[in-house]
Amino acid sequence: MSAVILVHGGAGLMRTLEGARLQAYRDGLAESARAGRAALEQGAGAVEAVLAAVRCMEASGVFNAGAGSCLDEEGHATLDAALMRGRDRAAGAVGACAATLHPTDVARDLMEEGRHVLLVGEGADRRARRLGLPPLPPPTVERYEAWARLSGRHITRPEDLTTTGQAEDQAEDQAEDQAEDQAEDQAEDQVAGRDPEGDTVGAVALDAQGRLAAAVSTGGLWLKARGRVGDSALPGAGCYACDDLGAAASATGVGERMIRAVTCKLACDIAQREGAAAAARRAVDDLERRFGVDSGGLIVVDRLGRIGATFNTHGMGRALARPGQAEVVVAVWPEDPFPTG
């Protein structure tokens, strides 16, 4: 048994991930794995390790989670997250939370309280405020520009949406009509998981006591419907951890597919019999058989500290660190060397 932290920074087409952006993405993955490793080295358990790793990516602004979250069809960021503790399968989760950049901390509070597993919308926001968590910063200009580009709308700030409508002149209506076909194509891209950037962050860990945990956090899909909640708010789909099964898993990709396939629970069931690498591979095979390529990917750790990281998209950011070992392995593309097993 060897303690380990394994993180992902999202799977997808990653159209815009090159140059300085790619470097920032890789640096963010390494920093996250180091944060998880530091927690394990300080004697924290697997839950604290996955939280440290995910918090780091939520705060960075580089990933589709926390400060870097994508925007929905109305130009707002709403976040989903979940956390699961393998020892007793305790779980906490939030959906469509807009009040904090750390929705996983709300999930942690719910998990520890033990009364409910999932809070959504205003209830999740209230809980975040009550906990005094840092607020979600407004999206950057770059995010608004991406939203305008993807939606085909000639508005670069969501506030503008509420002041348009009937007062808008005919020329703008016409421009919007012309952009509609393009927007539909782009929305189809999102549904198919061919997002222009990565999707979702997550972490799995095994601690020195042999305990497992999993976490996941996301802004969801670009241009998602207002109120849409994805797999990252659903333990079993977006993440799962169970010491009895001896595995923890965290997913990224088209959430509707992970929900229907209950991907992370499936991966943990497979890991119990066949280990982490086979679990990740076979869970992605299952997604591909049901829904085709570009579904996403997942990371898995098992009770022996073996790992699996598999995806059927263009890329998936991933990073691995082990307490007491200086090396942090970071990979993004399929051909990048990355340990498995």
Binding residues (CB under 6 A) for ligand GLY: these are 80, 199-200, 218, 220-221, 230-232, 252-255
Sign of CA dihedral 330, 87, 57, 310: positive
Of residues 9 and 255, the one with the C-beta less far from ligand GLY: 255
CB 332 within 8 A of CB 22: yes
Three-state secondary structure call for residue 215:
strand
Helices (H) and strands (E) in the chain, counts: 10, 12
CA distances from 217 to 37, 80, 82, 132, 274 (A): 19, 6, 7, 19, 27
Set 100, 104, 200, 218: catalytic member = 200
Q: Distance between CA 63 and CA 58 in Å, rounded?
A: 7
The CB-of-14 to ligand GLY minimum distance in angstroms stands at 14
Q: Is residue 278 helix, strand or coil?
A: helix
User: Minimal distance in Å, beta carbon 80 to ligand GLY?
Assistant: 6
263 classed as catalytic: no
Instruction: Copy the structure tokens of residue 21.
Output: 């952006």
**Quick one: 248 or 321, whose CB is closer to ligand GLY?**
248
Taking the least distance from each CB to ligand GLY, the nearer of 175 and 293 is 293
Q: Which is nearer to ligand GLY, 15 or 273 (CB)?
A: 15
Q: Find how far residue 310's CA is from the centre of its chain.
A: 15
Q: Are strands 239-242 and 247-253 parallel, antiparallel or unpaired?
A: antiparallel
Q: How far is the CB of 199 from ligand GLY (least distance, A)?
A: 5
Which CB sits closer to ligand GLY, 204 or 254? 254
- Identity at 198, one-letter amino acid code: G
The residue among 36, 58, 56 whose CA lies nearest residue 48 is 36
Least Å distance between CB 253 and ligand GLY? 5
Q: What is the nearest approach in angstroms of ligand GLY to the Cβ of residue 151? A: 18
Active-site residues: which are they? Answer: 200
